[in-house]
């Protein structure tokens, strides 16, 4: 007589059936995030690094009113994209809560301080450099495969939305970190940008080789206009010239390489988001977007609140909704919402070859 299955076996069968039934609903909305502090949702909380946002007043406007590791007063760009997709945001990959069906929502691999290059952010010591983020992506797929099988995992990754945000730190925390930095002695700025783009191309193709088929790639913002650079390099409140030059060189070349990669693949895998233009809109005309300033950070100290870290001892504005910048480098939640609005519905001035709403509509019909 056959032995009846144990409760544990029955539970695993039921869980497997549940996941298989729900995979079609969830998989089109799986969201995978790679990059730096603009999109890190808390991975650095689990690392021995100074690049962290796990103390007040970070998170002051987050639903929990507590710091989460996001470099924001509230929601960051992945959170707001997730809201627009009707899904919960993916958890940080290092979070112990990222298990079971939470894996099917996706994962956030981003880590504050990282860049395209391995030597970017060395002063932050233990951060998840992009090569390790990609290794974790492979590990993630193995974990999902153990839950739902290899075929369903391939389907989930194939239909997932991927967001990658890199490049800013390669200038701010590498080339321009100190006068006569190693990279600035090795390369002129135009040659450094070419080198960055060639290295970024390898990262993007690795993502593709690992199964990513819808990849949203953001350029850098106008790096010379953030409060930190106004405080340290700007003159009379004007954006820092050299960093603006870097943005102006980097972003068009990134856009060109995305188009070349799409042509080579024969599909629109890589979608470019012109973050520089999105920022320029509210930096040049803050009042039109409900901001009282696009120069002074809400949280910080020194000129433009642009020096040092945002801490409990810093100046803190009472109304975050009227500041374009939360801290010396990062947009406020309000600014992040404006950026995501253009990602979702913006014209080809902002999104190439199409916006995210169009992609999601096309994919839902496929």
Strands 106-108, 299-300: pairing kind? unpaired
Catalytic residue among 79, 82, 330, 332: 330
Detail the DSSP E strand segments found in 131-273.
Answer: 161-165, 215-218, 270-273
Q: Assess whether 327 carries a catalytic annotation.
A: yes
Q: Which two tokens stand for residue 66?
A: 């507590």
Backbone phi, psi, residue 72, to 5°:
-160, 160
Catalytic annotation present for 247: no
Contact 254, 330 (CB under 8 A): no
Residues 158 and 144: beta-carbon distance below 8 Å? no
Residue 152 has a CB neighbour count (10 Å cut-off) of 18
Q: Which of 36, 279, 327, 332 is catalytic?
A: 327
Which residue out of 37, 41, 72, 294 is catalytically annotated?
Answer: 37
**Helical (H) or strand (E) element with 352:** strand 351-352
Neighbours of 202 (CB within 10 A): 12
330 is catalytic: yes
Structure tokens at 255: 């856009």
Catalytic positions: 37, 327, 330
């Amino acid at each position: 007589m056959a032995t009846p299955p144990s409760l544990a076996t029955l539970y695993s069968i039921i869980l497997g059936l549940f996941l298989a039934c729900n995979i079609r609903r969830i998989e089109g909305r799986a969201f995978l995030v790679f990059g730096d502090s603009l999109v890190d949702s808390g991975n650095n909380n689990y690392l021995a690094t100074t690049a962290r946002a796990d103390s007040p007043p970070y998170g002051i406007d987050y639903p929990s009113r507590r710091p989460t590791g996001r470099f924001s007063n509230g929601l960051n760009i992945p959170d707001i994209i997730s809201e627009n997709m009707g899904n919960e945001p993916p958890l940080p990959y290092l979070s112990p809560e990222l298990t079971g069906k939470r894996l099917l929502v996706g994962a956030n691999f981003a880590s504050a301080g990282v860049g395209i290059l391995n030597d970017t952010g060395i002063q932050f010591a233990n951060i998840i450099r992009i090569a390790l983020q990609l290794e974790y992506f492979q590990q993630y797929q193995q974990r999902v495969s153990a839950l739902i099988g290899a075929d369903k995992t391939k389907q989930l990754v194939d239909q997932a939305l991927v967001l990658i945000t890199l490049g800013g730190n390669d200038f701010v925390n590498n080339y321009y970190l100190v006068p006569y930095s190693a990279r600035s002695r090795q390369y002129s700025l135009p040659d450094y940008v070419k080198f960055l783009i060639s290295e970024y191309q390898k990262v993007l193709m690795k993502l593709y080789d690992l199964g990513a088929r819808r990849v949203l790639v953001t350029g850098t913002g106008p790096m010379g206009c953030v409060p930190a650079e106004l405080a340290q390099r700007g003159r009379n409140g004007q954006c820092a010239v050299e960093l603006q030059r870097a943005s102006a060189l980097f972003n068009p070349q990134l856009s060109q390489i995305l188009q070349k990669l799409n042509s080579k693949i024969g599909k629109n895998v890589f979608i470019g988001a012109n973050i520089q233009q999105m920022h320029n809109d509210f930096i040049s005309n803050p009042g039109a977007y409900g901001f009282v300033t696009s120069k002074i950070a809400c949280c910080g100290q020194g000129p433009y609140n642009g020096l040092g870290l945002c801490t409990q001892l810093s100046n803190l504005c009472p109304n975050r909704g009227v500041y374009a910048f939360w801290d010396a480098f990062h947009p406020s939640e309000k600014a992040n919402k404006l950026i995501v609005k253009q990602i979702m519905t913006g014209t080809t001035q902002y999104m190439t070859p199409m916006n995210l709403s169009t992609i999601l509509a096309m994919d839902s019909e496929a």
